[in-house]
Structure 1
Amino acid sequence: MRTKRWNTMLSLVLVGILILLAGCQPVGNVDVGKAMAGSLAVKSSEGKQTVTLELTPDPAVTMSPEGKRMFDLFSKVKIDITEMKTQDQLHASMKGAFEYQKGRVPFELVMSDMNYTLKIEGAKKPIMIRNSATAATELPKELQEQLQQLSKKAVEAVPSLTPFFTRNFPNPSKITAAEVSETVNGEALTLQKVHAEIYGNELLGLVKGFLTNVLADDQGLKDFIGVLYDLYVPILKEVTQEVGKNNADSNDTLTPYLNNKALAVEFVHTFVKTQLEQALKDFDASVDKMDPEAKAWLSDNQSLKMDLYVDKDYVTRKSNAEIGFTLPQGKGGGLKSVKITSVYEVWNVNKPIQAATIDTAGGVIEMNGADGSLTAGKFVASLDPNSQLYKLLKDDLGVTKKNISMIVGEDKELSFGTLPYNDNGTIMVPARFVVEELDADVKWDAATKQVKVTDPLSGAVLVLTIGSDEATVNGKTVKLEKPAVLVEGVTFVPVRVVSEGLGAKVGWEQAMQTVKITRD
């Protein structure tokens, strides 16, 4: 159990390694903590960034044909953001492109009050991703308003939370600072260059040092908890009030802490401190018990190298970063190493900036609308078939491919829920389950007792009537092996008509009594 916890912890540490660098103590004439705080305090800016992912194959492993195809396609991919505009903490935009071996997919992204609008070349309409509280229409109005406030306050709270980390992370062994001349957006600037390198064999020491420093920073820990209290307690109060309407005793235990900040902070502080003391006590023993695969990540084969260019206002105006991972031998499924590089620069800091907008007058594609989440098939169906995005998703990634397996019961009396059954040699399957698994739409008309199936990907339309041995497929009448039937409110139809009508193939595994539905 402890080994599993450490494997998870290492993954989180590797993901959060950039935060670790921000916690360095002053180096030369540069206070890296102040530089991090200064960058987080930026309200508006313009910039650009390029992120590149490169994969190296393991020569000792023979990839499957499909694995090699995917590797050849995505062994080097790039996200090139040519324009970034931050108007304020809740309004921003960017323009760029995703590049891979077969082509380039331009895109635009706009954030407004935590809602995202994405315009991708090849999509007939912009894509809307609603993350703001207003998207949660099923919640009470008061709770929606609290969620809206939480979104804004969470962004505003980041600068006040950061010093807790910047004070307590120790320095990596390789870190230097020097004054240099650099060009940012064509402007020559005098900046302080901070160069740092962090390797896997340092991680545990840095983590232990951080935990030790946090344990000693009593007031800092209390202040950190206090900021979180101010951030989350208003919405917790609203939630407990809603729950309390149905159960008067439901929030008796929590209420004293929600109404008394000092009491809550002291309680959480005592709990966290106790856990930290135990974690530090067990730290070395836990490391010794780590399995060899986890220890393989703690070597100089894993690294972060970064150059930060900081101006006189402690704002990072430019950065170059490289993260490298080498997977344990034979454990990468044909992958030997991963390298991620980033080049970034920013200008017009804290000057009036107007974020770009995306025209949505012609409608949008809702990623999480009232009809549920957008499926891969429905999204691909909304694209221009000649676009690079369509080819990327359908041909290269195969997101519309389907492989459905269903174990068949003996007969409908013994078939529970949505389990298919065998009706004298004809496999009857639940229409809604199969149709939705194939990313199509199904509608039931109680008046006519008809099931209408529409496939957005192919445009096929199927209409089946309960009790009838005929159906229409794209307007043409076809004979069914068996009529569609209702079993305890569930519509069952012959597997072939619905599957083949939606462009899928049907197979049968006799040994497992399983029907297989596949679509390329």
Structure 2
Amino acid sequence: MVKKLILALLTSILFLTGCQSIKGVNLNQMVLNSSRIKSAESKMTASWHLTYNKAQVKDKDLLKVLDLLNHAQLTVQTKMQNINTLSLEGNVILQKGKIPFRLYADQKEMVLLIDNATKPIRIPMDNGTSQNEKWVQDLQTKICEPIVKNLPNPKHISVQTKSEKVQGGTVAGYKVHAEIYANEAPEFLLAFLNNLLKNEKAITQIVNAVNELNKATGGDSSMTAAEFKAGLQEFKMQVTQNLPELKKSKLLSAKNYFKTDILLDRNFFERKSSSDLNIASIEDDSGLKGIRLHVENETWNINKPVTAKKIKYSSYLTENATREEFLATLDKKRSVLYKILTSFTN
């Protein structure tokens, strides 16, 4: 259990930019606010580019997938009514054409409509309560807060006062710029582990939250703060011992990096961001050598009334529908997805 939790913590630090205040801007609050959003609207655009040598990709099906996904784009507009109710509407844009999609989810069902199919896919959901919603958000904060407060800032981070347009309106706040390079990751990780190991209160908070989650999900085991701390110390020792080898890895190169610009409003909610992830040296024998990902996002109507957009239907497919049943709902002449799926038929 301790090892699983440590892996979860490591995953978390890959996505958080830092927590210490800079020029009076509370970056810690920025991260924690993400777990306190009850409703909002947002739009996101992601595009990616793959680097590979066709002659080196031996798997023909993998080559078809790489050719299909290279230079693709994803656009998504989200309406989050509450923690359990939301709708998505967007497009997957490929070189072969555009695949529109819509999704609606609430406490009773999830409905997914892909490429203007004649029938959506409906998946029943477990019923929840507003009390459960509050418990989930509280637990997120309990786990997130002690982690975030012990994260070191990246070496390359700056803050300036800034105003920018978000969904047609002007948002006054702060612009955060951060850069994290893969060759800095080991030292960043060790600094985080050192901070956490010195903070008995944070360790106790994490352990209590994880035990609460484990009990709520039917688990019959628990751990103590001493056990968790011992696991962290063991992991820190392993990282330290393996540091020389880690630094030799092509993956931990300065060519691999994450860069982001984030606009915060005066209440330290993220309102706009532009991020780039570059992985220039993938070490495997698949033939895929690199990935470049660019993501832009805007958020508005935070914790204000938002209505998710339902999908109307008279009949539907279940989550157990066969491939043939799904294909039958697509337009054979116009559907980009139909042409793609049938092209992979042997």
TM over 0.5: yes
Matched, 1:213 2:195: yes
Matched, 1:39 2:21: no
1:96 shift after superposition: 0.7
Please name the residue that 1:100 is paired with: 94
Secondary structure class of the residue paired with 2:163? strand
Matched, 1:364 2:346: no
Matched, 1:20 2:20: no
For the aligned residue pairs, the C-alpha RMSD in angstroms reads: 3.0
Please name the residue that 2:286 is paired with: 333
1:48 shift after superposition: 0.8
1:374 shift after superposition: 3.6
Matched, 1:393 2:341: yes
Please name the residue that 1:244 is paired with: none
1:375 shift after superposition: 3.9
Please name the residue that 2:110 is paired with: 116
> In the aligned structure 1, how far is the partner of 2:45 from the partner of 2:167?
14
Please name the residue that 1:72 is paired with: 67
The amino acid of 2:236's aligned partner reads L
Under a length normalisation based on structure 2, what TM-score does the superposition of the two structures give?
0.88
1:384 shift after superposition: 2.7
Please name the residue that 1:350 is paired with: 303
> In the aligned structure 1, how far is the partner of 2:14 from the partner of 2:123?
27
Please name the residue that 1:133 is paired with: 126
Please name the residue that 2:140 is paired with: 158
Deviates more, 1:316-325 or 1:152-161: 152-161
Matched, 1:90 2:43: no
Alignment of 1:204-243 (within 5 A): 204-236=186-218
Alignment of 1:67-466 (within 5 A): 68-81=63-76, 83-113=77-107, 115-130=109-124, 132-133=125-126, 153-236=135-218, 267-289=223-245, 295-328=249-282, 331=284, 333-360=286-313, 362-367=314-319, 373-386=320-333, 387-395=335-343, 398=344, 401=345
Q: What whole-Å deviation, never above 9, does each CA across 1:138-172 have from its counterpart, x for those lacking one?
A: xxxxxxx89x9767733442133211111111111
The amino acid of 2:52's aligned partner reads P
C-alpha change, 1:100 and 1:152, in structure 2 (3 Å) is: farther
> In the aligned structure 1, how far is the partner of 2:206 from the partner of 2:61?
49
Q: What whole-Å deviation, never above 9, does each CA across 1:228-278 have from its counterpart, x for those lacking one?
A: 333342442xx7xxxxxxxxxxxxxx5xx7xxxxxx5xx421211111122
> In the aligned structure 1, how far is the partner of 2:337 from the partner of 2:158?
43
- Runs of 5+ unmatched residues, structure 2: none
**How many pairs were matched up?**
341
Rg (Cα) greater in structure: 1
Secondary structure class of the residue paired with 2:304? coil
> In the aligned structure 2, how far is the partner of 1:177 from the partner of 1:235?
41
The amino acid of 1:92's aligned partner reads L
Secondary structure class of the residue paired with 2:149? helix
> In the aligned structure 2, how far is the partner of 1:60 from the partner of 1:89?
47
The amino acid of 1:279's aligned partner reads F
Secondary structure class of the residue paired with 1:24? coil
C-alpha change, 1:191 and 1:102, in structure 2 (3 Å) is: same
Under a length normalisation based on structure 1, what TM-score does the superposition of the two structures give?
0.60
> In the aligned structure 2, how far is the partner of 1:102 from the partner of 1:60?
22
1:129 shift after superposition: 2.9
Q: What whole-Å deviation, never above 9, does each CA across 1:495-514 have from its counterpart, x for those lacking one?
A: xxxxxxxxxxxxxxxxxxxx
1:363 shift after superposition: 1.9
C-alpha change, 1:17 and 1:58, in structure 2 (3 Å) is: farther
The amino acid of 2:310's aligned partner reads T
- Runs of 5+ unmatched residues, structure 1: 135-144, 240-253, 258-263, 368-372, 402-519
> In the aligned structure 2, how far is the partner of 1:87 from the partner of 1:328?
40
The amino acid of 2:15's aligned partner reads I
> In the aligned structure 2, how far is the partner of 1:52 from the partner of 1:113?
31
> In the aligned structure 1, how far is the partner of 2:53 from the partner of 2:281?
9
1:364 shift after superposition: 1.7
> In the aligned structure 2, how far is the partner of 1:208 from the partner of 1:384?
54
Secondary structure class of the residue paired with 1:215? helix
